[in-house]
Structure 1
Amino acid sequence: MLITFTSKAASEVLMYKEHAKRILDLLHKDVDQGVITAMEAPHALQVLEKEIEESRQHSVSEDVERDVHAHHNEDGDDTDHEQIQAVSFSTRAYPLVEMLRAAKAGGHDVVWGV
């Protein structure tokens, strides 16, 4: 399922719900419907930029964890290694971060699910 983020400050940002959930959980927002007000945007940017920096420092550990889960199924069988996910958290979050920057600068809200 897709989430569409909208703001008068920027073009729409589309994101898969599963990817948006990680971002919105960091901001303590509901994934189905919500708003990041212009006044909340500076704090939201601070939180996301910190998480982006953290994810860049620990990107290898995320890849290893994903790989371990991929080849140890419920029965304990060892299957083939999955391909390493090429899209990082920072890459996924970038369009929304840019929207938040524009929203902050223009004094606009960012909404989704409405």
Structure 2
Amino acid sequence: MLITFKSKAYPNVLMYQEHAKRILDLLHKDSERGVITAEESSRAVDLLEHEIEESRKHQATDEMEQDVKAHHGDHPDGEHEPIEAVSFSTRAYPLLEMLRAARDQGSDILWGV
């Protein structure tokens, strides 16, 4: 399922709910519906930037490798193209930019409405 984040300060940002959930859990927000107020956005930027830095310090885990194999399987015959893992920082970047714009322009961010 997709989540559309909306703000007057930035174009809409679409994310898969499973990817957005990690960010929203960090911010103590519900993934179904919610708001990050302009007042909360500064703290949200700080938290997300810290989480991105932490994620860059750690290598891919066995859990991620298992997830990739579950989606692509082990195909020694080369049926699938090489797997390119998308990092947390890459996934989070559009929402981080939206948070920064919302902070700078004093706008709220809404989703699920």
**Which bracket does the TM-score occupy, shorter chain normalised?**
0.7 to 0.9
Residue equivalent to 1:113: 112
Provide the aligned C-alpha RMSD in A.
Answer: 2.0
Residue equivalent to 1:65: 63
Residue equivalent to 1:4: 4
- Any runs of at least 4 consecutive aligned residues in structure 1 with deviations exceeding 4 A, and if so which? 68-72
**How many residues are aligned here?**
106
1:71/1:94 CA distance change after superposition, 3 Å = closer
Encode CA deviations 1:41-80: one digit per residue, 9 max, x unaligned. 011011100000000110x243x332246669xxxxxx73
Q: Which amino acid aligns with 1:41?
A: S
1:85/1:30 CA distance change after superposition, 3 Å = farther
Q: Alpha-carbon deviation of 1:30? A: 0.2
Does residue 14 of structure 1 match 2:11?
no
In 2, Cα distance between equivalents of 1:3 and 1:61: 25
TM-score, structure 2 normalization: 0.84
Residue equivalent to 2:85: 86
Identity of aligned residues (%): 64
Residue equivalent to 1:41: 41
Q: Which amino acid aligns with 2:90?
A: T
TM-score, structure 1 normalization: 0.83
Residue equivalent to 2:54: 54
Unpaired runs of 5+ residues, structure 1, are 73-78
In 2, Cα distance between equivalents of 1:20 and 1:99: 13
Unpaired runs of 5+ residues, structure 2, are 76-81
